[in-house]
Structure 1
Amino acid sequence: MKIYKKSIFAILFCLISVFSCKPEFEYDKITDIYIFSTVSSSNDLVTTIGKSYSFTDASRGEYVREWTVNGPSFFTNNGDSVLTEHIAHVQFKETGIVPVKVTLDFGDPSLNYDTTFNVAVFDSVVTADFEVANIEGDFKETNGKYTIESGTFITFKSTSEGFPDVFEWNADVNGEFKDSLARMEFVTPGTYDVTLTASRKEPISGKKGEITKTALIEVVPSSIPYVLDQLTQDANGNIFVKLNRDLNVDEINDNTINNFKVTDALGEVQTINHLTVSNELNNTIILFVDPNFSSLFVTYKQANQSGDIISVDGVLLEEFTDVKVEGYQHNFFTNGSFENGTYAPFNDGKWIGSGGMKVLKDPSIAVDGDYFLAVNFDPYTHKNGNGSKLSIEMTDDYFPISTEKKYTFEFYAKAIGNIRTLKVSIKDQESGNSVNKSLHSNLIDGEWVKITWYSNESIPKDFIQAYIQFDLIAEPDETAQLLIDHMVFTEHVE
């Protein structure tokens, strides 16, 4: 077995920049297994994360050679944790004591050989630094510092050295930023310092790095107008006023409610019971109004005093007039509170029925406004005895209805006498299929009862053109009357 000194030096000189060996080593006298590394002794097997060592062996006559290292460290020869070449280059990717093992198989268990190098890998010293990677909005750069408009997003990118994997950014803006990339929104006018602290998860040695770039960002008020973005209504009838950017909540007070006006389709002003800022969205105000599922419109006018709505960067909200509310405003009935003194939605040419109806005016009795509908039942003979009943159904102007949408049918009813059953059917014009809702023994003689059916649920049949039929039965042996007010049938517009 023979190995040449010059060849060994040639290989190692090309592969490593620093090489030393044991003083007693003589290349031309190797007669057995000899393993060496880029350091002179095992006590020197110390490095920092991300660095490399090279190992080789000078054995002869083996059948199999296998180097192994624990992941995520790996051999740069092949990018794997197992290697069969003479020379092994290892890059260390985790801190701690990392074993590098070589096994030599000579075909005889008594001659087989293995050895392990334990390399102490310390945490690298982290030098923190970062750069601006992207700006979403108008900006101006001067001497490495940035002037931006309120509402601009800036993405910062860590350029730290030392292989950090833990990042913490601080710029005194909303949000937590824990990645190597940090996308921040700057809203409030002012000057901002940006700080990055970079470190490793499990340092054995070394220190974290931190850098602060003072007055890196200057935020000025946005040139984009502060305007209404959307008006929506929830299931309780409350109106959500969404603006195109955050508002200054400190400027909202009891006077702000006077800047708004809510009207219905007839121009009637609706009472705003309360105004507040949404707990979830800093760009949204909630107007609390009584449930009214007819079309609603909102107007905002500045009062030029305390209570005007101002954005977080100091811009006044622009005025708007009679903007329609999106949401639960699509009511298939007209005049569901009977306030114009007619029988609508029953006898506006779209309905036929039995029984007498009349609209009465009495604010002390009406639930909604001054008027209500009084329905007198017709007497009829039943096998169980005499009683009275009323049936009303649409005959024209059917409305589309589908399982793909959701609906609410709501009204107030007061029984005068014993009304045993109140049933409402939604029927399909073409097929005659129907879905029914019935009220049994829930009506209280002489008291208003609010009745809500479906309540934002899908109609369980696929209707194309639908109509409504009411069947009201009172028995036995009396002629009853039913009072109705605030009747709405709404399609929920998402």
Structure 2
Amino acid sequence: MKLKGTNFFMVLFCLMTFFSCKEEFEYDKITDIYVFSTESNSKDLVTTLGGTFSFTDASRGEYVREWTIDGPSYFTNNEDTVLTEHIAHVQFENTGVVPVKIQLDFGDEELNYDSTFYITVYDSAVTPDFEVIEIEGDYVESNGKYIMESGAFVTFKSTSQGQPDTFEWLTTLDQTVKDSVARIEFVKPGVYDIGLFASRKEPVKGTGNTIYKNGLIEVVPSTVPFRVDQMTQDEEGNIFVKFNRDLDLETITDSTINNFTIRDADNNVLTINHLAASGEVNNTIILFVDPTFSQLYVTYNHSGEAGDLQSIDGVKLEEFTDMEVEGYQHNFFTNGSFENSTYAPFNDGKWVGSGAMNVIKDATTAVDGDYYLQVDFEPYEHKNGNGSKLTIEMTEGYFPVSAEYNYTFEFYAKAVGNIRVLKVTLKDADTGDSMNKTFQDQLVDGEWVKITYFSNEPITKEFINTNVQFDFIAEPNETAQLLVDHLVFSQH
């Protein structure tokens, strides 16, 4: 039998249940239940307002049949919400998931049968709309519009009708958001129109539409001061000035360099060779100066409109005087990781026993880079009961140490075998003055251990030409090794 309806494909959808030939029933009481719709797939049970579907009950046996549906949808057979005919033609008048139910009564509770078809009903078109659900920042609301300080984040949420699944938020900002919720940052002062395009692709296409809310967002300059967060120096001596907000890069001109002055600890003015915005981030400029690692101080003054630094939200940089630069941590060990494959600046040892010192290339063993320094001990017992004692010390690359600065002195060491003593000595090659520390218990057999002599702290003595010396003692009559890597002696 053909079933007629608006959405009608003449294909059986669902053999819901099938009962037949139970032994305890006589032939005239065999019960078949066979209910189907005009769609071939449950995912196709979708329509729009005013659409129709047809369902058929082809069951057999003595029973009472009743189709039901919630209003305002109804059966076109009788323009009611209850139907007892074999074929049910339904017209859908409410959106959402609408159930169509059938109850079959065979006079036996064990054989009675209920089933439900679920139909998704959409509006035929999408009606876009949205609302502001959160503002992160200072703002006021006036006549349905929002006035906020620069840097605020606004979260918009689609409230569109018609079950859309495709979104695109429309602003003049360089941001693309294609979700039902959009979190957008507003930085530059100005008045912003916000739009939303919403449409539907699945499960039924809906005509897309766009809504604009003109002048919804007004951004005013932030009351948070535009200031410097940090000034640091790189290994070339150049000074990186980091701000708390992004710069308006268009305000940086050739005259901006004249707003800055750099002095050292003796009040000598340094020449700024060049000033430029960092190419990596928009909140940093670079002052290019000749390499120097002494204490430096930077001053900034306004010079009128030309050359004044301004944040992207229109606030001028606050003036400051003698802001100290965080000095570059200059590492005096130019061969601290032995990557030039030599053990310079150290000599090859003073031996009580015998042994050797080599730079080994093995990236799987080195703690830093591909190379490490290896000191080998030959089995030996000194007359005082000690084993092999080895000393390696600097023979070149001496450097000054001043009590005015902080220093970090650290390295990695790995003992292979029983190394009883590791002593580190700082000596002044000119005066003979020295200080030392023994790291008796820090070494762990077979493991790299970080040894720290100083950690960003002052050295109490002044050294004109600092010489570093290492002394090792291994247990008597034992073959041992000491591996050394990543030597850092830096001035802050």
Q: What TM bracket, shorter-length normalisation?
A: 0.5 to 0.7
**Number of aligned residues:** 313
Counterpart of 2:439 (choices 419, 431, 445) is 431
Q: Structure 1 regions of 5+ residues with no counterpart?
A: 66-83, 93-120, 334-388, 405-426, 435-458, 472-487
Partner residue in 1 for 2:166 = 166
- Does the C-alpha gap of structure 1 residues 22 and 201 become closer, same or farther in structure 2, counting only changes over 3 Å? closer
- Tell me if 1:142 matches 2:142: yes
| Residues 166, 199 of structure 1: 8 Å contact kept | yes
- Tell me if 1:2 matches 2:48: no
- Does the C-alpha gap of structure 1 residues 88 and 300 become closer, same or farther in structure 2, counting only changes over 3 Å? same
3-state DSSP of counterpart to 1:311: coil
Deviation at 1:28, TM superposition (A): 12
Matches within 5 A, 1:75-474: 86-90=114-118, 92=120, 125-202=125-202, 204-326=204-326, 328-329=328-329, 399-402=407-410, 429-431=437-439, 461-465=450-454, 469=467
Deviation at 1:460, TM superposition (A): 7.1
Deviation at 1:126, TM superposition (A): 1.7
How many angstroms apart in 2 are the aligned matches of 1:390 and 1:137? 59
Deviation at 1:280, TM superposition (A): 3.5
| Residues 139, 147 of structure 1: 8 Å contact kept | yes
| Residues 47, 122 of structure 1: 8 Å contact kept | no
Deviation at 1:144, TM superposition (A): 0.6
How many angstroms apart in 2 are the aligned matches of 1:257 and 1:87? 81
3-state DSSP of counterpart to 1:267: coil
Q: Structure 2 regions of 5+ residues with no counterpart?
A: 1-60, 334-394, 413-434, 443-447, 460-465, 470-487
Partner residue in 1 for 2:75 = 20
How many angstroms apart in 2 are the aligned matches of 1:183 and 1:28? 50
- Does the C-alpha gap of structure 1 residues 29 and 321 become closer, same or farther in structure 2, counting only changes over 3 Å? closer
How many angstroms apart in 1 are the aligned matches of 2:160 and 2:103? 37
Amino acid at match of 1:88: T
| Residues 407, 490 of structure 2: 8 Å contact kept | no
How many angstroms apart in 2 are the aligned matches of 1:224 and 1:211? 34
| Residues 296, 329 of structure 1: 8 Å contact kept | no
Deviation at 1:225, TM superposition (A): 2.2
Deviation at 1:430, TM superposition (A): 1.5
| Residues 16, 54 of structure 1: 8 Å contact kept | no
1:14-35 deviations in whole A, cap 9, x for unaligned? x454332768xxx9999xxx6x
Deviation at 1:208, TM superposition (A): 1.2
Deviation at 1:490, TM superposition (A): 2.8
Partner residue in 1 for 2:52 = none
3-state DSSP of counterpart to 1:312: coil
TM-score where L is the length of structure 2:
0.53
- Does the C-alpha gap of structure 1 residues 273 and 145 become closer, same or farther in structure 2, counting only changes over 3 Å? same
- Does the C-alpha gap of structure 1 residues 136 and 21 become closer, same or farther in structure 2, counting only changes over 3 Å? closer
| Residues 331, 491 of structure 2: 8 Å contact kept | yes
How many angstroms apart in 2 are the aligned matches of 1:395 and 1:281? 36
3-state DSSP of counterpart to 1:429: strand
| Residues 122, 163 of structure 2: 8 Å contact kept | no
How many angstroms apart in 1 are the aligned matches of 2:153 and 2:102? 53
3-state DSSP of counterpart to 2:240: strand
3-state DSSP of counterpart to 2:207: coil
CA RMSD in angstroms, aligned pairs only: 4.5
1:78-107 deviations in whole A, cap 9, x for unaligned? xxxxxx971324254xxxxxxxxxxxxxxx
Counterpart of 1:51 (choices 90, 97, 100) is 97
| Residues 156, 181 of structure 1: 8 Å contact kept | yes
* Bigger Cα displacement from structure 2, 121-130 vs 142-151: 121-130
- Does the C-alpha gap of structure 1 residues 489 and 150 become closer, same or farther in structure 2, counting only changes over 3 Å? same
How many angstroms apart in 2 are the aligned matches of 1:141 and 1:311? 25
Deviation at 1:304, TM superposition (A): 1.6
How many angstroms apart in 2 are the aligned matches of 1:460 and 1:292? 33
How many angstroms apart in 1 are the aligned matches of 2:398 and 2:244? 47
Amino acid at match of 1:90: Y
The percentage of counterpart residues that share the same residue type is 45
| Residues 409, 489 of structure 2: 8 Å contact kept | no
| Residues 167, 198 of structure 1: 8 Å contact kept | yes
1:302-343 deviations in whole A, cap 9, x for unaligned? 11241111223333211111212236257899xxxxxxxxxx
3-state DSSP of counterpart to 1:401: strand
How many angstroms apart in 1 are the aligned matches of 2:317 and 2:84? 91
| Residues 126, 207 of structure 1: 8 Å contact kept | yes
